[in-house]
């Protein structure tokens, strides 16, 4: 078998396609992924885990966890054989790694950490409002603690801590999730789709260039740090930063650290921007909704921001205008995410042709091909397939989304495994010496200096005067 085929990129696509293929069974009325474990916001630990489908309620949360663990252990151990590594050695280490990373994921969903302060569960008096994505940060911290305080233990995980494989599988699955969402929104709101797409094209081209130039020229960061940072702020922290890192061949730790900053600041935006929008845009609810999608840089925080903003403008939960506002935020954010694959290709060409160009050569097509992250093809195919199915037959979108919601459980788990694995392999002292403190500073300067305000201006340009009734 040719060496190019036995690669992490190919394995990631195979695993991702397997999972989303199983999710398509919902179109036939079957349910092949409903046994997977979903983690909910919890105050009572007994309610933290549930099967992702109510059809498997009898399995219980613990049973769903066991089923998910056994499934992933089997699939990834087979993947170890595919990559010519010891499956037994991998399986033992992966089992421990999965349990530790999953505990971090569950802890991040504790109501006092994750709950929306405006929608506190019964019995919970306060919450940090970090959303369930706090689990990613806890996984990174957990890995960092083990890798830096107990380096021998960190080294023991090396065969199983395949961060690049984990994130690539997650991104392939993400393509299907976004495809289903985009199909739903294209059917429901063509006018909002057009405005949202135009807005994010304009915003993205401005955001990326400015962030990159400020990181390079003002703060002196290398291209390896500046490019993932620009993508993380411009698109979506976790997925975009890591895909960009793969396109320019950055070390894995670079985009993950950028992603962590994005998650932290997105929470701050979620808590502040909806109220600010309501104050400065009292008569422009759709401008406010579009602004949330353009400014808040993670999916969970962006969608939550849209819902919070809609609630401020229309307190009645049954008011249909709330749905149109939430749809606008979601549409803008989803189509920003779609740019991940396109920008990976653009950066592969730029880095091969201009940044790392060899003297006397024209456009190095072979080098572009080698540099381009192949798993992005999987992302593009899954997105296109699910989008085409939804658009061609709007009646199946509900079933399609139920399937992708179940597949998305695995996407989130693979992201958690990525963060934990990166933490295990990261030397904090070396990272700090490379300028982690300056990285946070450049993020603050870019986000609060112009990204938020340019997003507001562009949202005003495209959504000013649009009624919340969606007409």
Question: Smallest Cα–Cα separation from 277: which of 249, 244, 252, 311?
Answer: 311
Nearest to 170, CA basis, from 178, 181, 160, 158? 178
Tell me the pLDDT tens digit for each residue of 263-274.
778 777 887 899
Report the C-alpha gap between 277 and 313 in whole angstroms: 10
Asked if 23 and 176 count as a contact pair (C-beta separation under 8 A), the reply is yes
- Three-class SS of residue 287? helix
Report in angstroms the alpha-carbon separations of 217 from 208, 209, 234, 453: 14, 12, 18, 21
pLDDT (tens digit per residue) in 308-332? 898 889 887 678 788 788 878 877 7
Residue pair 416/102 in contact by the 8 Å Cβ criterion: yes
pLDDT in tens, 192-233: 556 656 666 666 678 888 889 999 999 888 888 888 888 887
Measured in degrees and rounded to the nearest 5, phi and psi for residue 59 equal: -70, -25
More confident residue, 105 or 394: 105
Tell me the pLDDT tens digit for each residue of 96-141: 999 999 999 999 999 999 887 777 888 888 888 777 888 888 998 9
Q: In terms of residues, how long is the chain?
A: 471
Distances (CA, A) of 139 to 132, 410, 469: 12, 16, 41
pTM of the model: 0.78
What six digits make up the tokens of 335?
């189509």
In whole angstroms, what is the distance from residue 437 CA to residue 295 CA? 23
Alpha carbon distance 127, 229 (integer Å): 29
pLDDT of residue 470: 45
Taking Cα atoms as reference points, which of 418, 420, 424, 425 lies closest to residue 375? 418
Rounded Cα gap, residues 49 and 39, in angstroms: 5
What is the distance between the alpha carbons of residues 469 and 457, in angstroms, rounded to a whole number?
22
Between residues 373 and 277, which one has the greater pLDDT?
Answer: 277
Q: What pLDDT does residue 103 have? A: 97
Q: What is the model's pLDDT at position 1?
A: 46
Task: Return d(Cα 48, Cα 443) in angstroms, integer.
Answer: 33
The residues with which 49 forms a beta bridge, in sequence order, are 39
As given in the structure block, the two tokens for residue 17 are 């396609």
């Amino acid at each position: 078998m040719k060496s190019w085929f036995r690669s992490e990129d190919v394995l990631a696509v195979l695993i991702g396609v397997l999972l989303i293929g199983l999710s398509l069974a919902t179109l036939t009325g079957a349910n092949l992924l409903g046994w997977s474990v979903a983690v909910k916001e919890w105050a009572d630990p007994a309610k933290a885990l549930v099967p992702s489908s109510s059809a498997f309620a009898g399995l219980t949360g613990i049973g769903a966890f066991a089923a998910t663990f056994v499934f992933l252990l089997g699939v990834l151990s087979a993947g170890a054989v595919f990559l010519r590594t010891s499956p037994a050695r991998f399986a033992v280490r992966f089992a421990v790694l999965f349990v530790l990373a999953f505990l971090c994921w569950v802890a991040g969903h504790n109501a006092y950490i994750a709950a929306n302060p405006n929608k506190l569960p019964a019995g919970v008096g306060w919450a940090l409002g970090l959303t369930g994505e706090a689990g990613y940060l806890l996984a990174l911290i957990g890995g960092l603690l083990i890798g830096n305080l107990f380096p021998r233990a960190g080294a023991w995980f090396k065969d199983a801590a395949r961060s690049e494989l984990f994130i690539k599988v997650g991104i392939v699955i993400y393509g299907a999730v976004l495809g289903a969402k985009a199909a739903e929104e294209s059917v429901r709101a063509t006018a909002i789709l057009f405005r949202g797409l135009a807005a994010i094209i304009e915003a993205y081209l401005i955001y990326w260039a400015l962030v990159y130039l400020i990181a390079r020229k003002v703060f002196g960061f290398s291209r390896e740090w500046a490019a993932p940072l620009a993508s993380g702020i411009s698109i979506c922290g976790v997925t975009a930063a890591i895909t960009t890192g793969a396109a320019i061949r950055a070390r894995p730790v670079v985009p993950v650290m950028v992603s962590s900053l994005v998650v932290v600041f997105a929470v701050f935006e979620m808590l502040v921007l909806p109220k600010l929008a309501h104050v400065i845009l009292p008569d422009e609810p759709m401008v406010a909704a579009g602004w949330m999608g353009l400014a808040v840089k993670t999916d969970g925080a962006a969608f939550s921001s849209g819902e919070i903003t809609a609630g401020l403008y229309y307190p009645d939960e049954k008011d249909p205008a709330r749905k149109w506002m939430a749809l606008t935020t979601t549409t803008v954010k989803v189509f920003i995410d779609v740019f991940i694959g396109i920008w990976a290709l653009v950066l592969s060409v730029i880095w091969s042709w201009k940044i790392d160009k060899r003297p006397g050569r024209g456009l190095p097509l072979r080098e572009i091909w080698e540099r381009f992250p192949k798993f992005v093809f999987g992302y593009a195919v899954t997105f296109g397939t699910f989008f085409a199915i939804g658009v061609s037959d709007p009646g199946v979108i509900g079933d399609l989304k139920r399937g992708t919601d179940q597949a998305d459980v695995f996407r989130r788990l693979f992201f958690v495994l990525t963060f934990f694995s990166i933490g295990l392999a990261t030397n904090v002292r070396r990272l700090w010496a490379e300028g982690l403190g300056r990285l946070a500073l450049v993020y603050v300067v870019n986000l609060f200096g112009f990204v938020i305000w340019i997003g507001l201006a562009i949202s005003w340009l495209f959504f000013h005067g649009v009624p919340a009734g969606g007409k």
